Copies of this chain bind each other. A is one copy, B any other.
Amino acid sequence: MSKTRVEAFSDGVIAIIITIMVLELRVPHGTDLDALKPLVPILLTYLLSFVYVGIYWNNHHHMLHMTSRISGMILWANLHLLFWLSLVPFVTGWMGENHFAPLPTAVYGMVLLGAGLAYTILQATIISDQGERSALAAAVGADLKGKTSALLYASAIPLAFVSEWISDAIYVFVAILWFIPDRRIESRLKGE
């Protein structure tokens, strides 16, 4: 079974997700600077979510590059990841419009955690299909970065009720952590 359509479909869904988020930036009625002010937190959240979805796209790109074969299980694990990513525009809008209030900030973390776990499940499904000796298994290794991120998201959820700024700082920190495409895979590809 070819992976071309899985890539094409995922590209389509991720492209739409990353683009419809901008629809939350509603055109203001005024034409002065005051009209733009309420949009600043929305723009910042949009930027954060854009980077997150971009990271997922980059890593997905790398992971499927190392995948030789698609099974029915992989198709569903992939759709599961896309489901969580499709909730990102909603939580982005909710957090942005409410100036990073505690509950929206916590729910944002839940969706990031869900997407992170879905990515890990997809990765494990591909590795279990390709064997522990596959290039992907070697490249992922103990997946410390994935586990650290999940822990950080999980701690950001309750911490949003202490102070939303702690959680926001965690989200920004994890984004920076992943900003660079997975070097483990990239260095492996170069060594090929």
Contacts and interface: CB of A to CB of B under 8 A. Distances in A.
Interface of A: 1-2, 5-9, 11-20, 22-25, 27-28, 31-33, 36, 47, 50, 54, 57-58, 61-62, 65, 72, 75-76, 79, 82-83, 86-87, 89-90, 93-94, 97-98, 101-104, 107, 179-181, 183, 186, 189
A76 B179 contact: yes
Given A23-B20, A31-B98, A90-B25, A9 B13 contact: no
14 contacts: A1-B62, A5-B61, A9-B15, A9-B57, A12-B15, A12-B16, A18-B82, A22-B87, A22-B90, A27-B90, A31-B103, A32-B103, A58-B72, A72-B186
Nearest to A80: B54
Q: How many copies does the complex hold?
A: 4
B20 A17 contact: no
A165 to B, nearest CB: 16
Q: Which of A6, A15, A28, A180 has the most CB of B within 10 A?
A: A15
B5 A5 contact: no
A114 B93 CA distance: 23
B20 A19 contact: yes
Nearest to A98: B31
Contacts of A22: 20, 86-87, 89-90
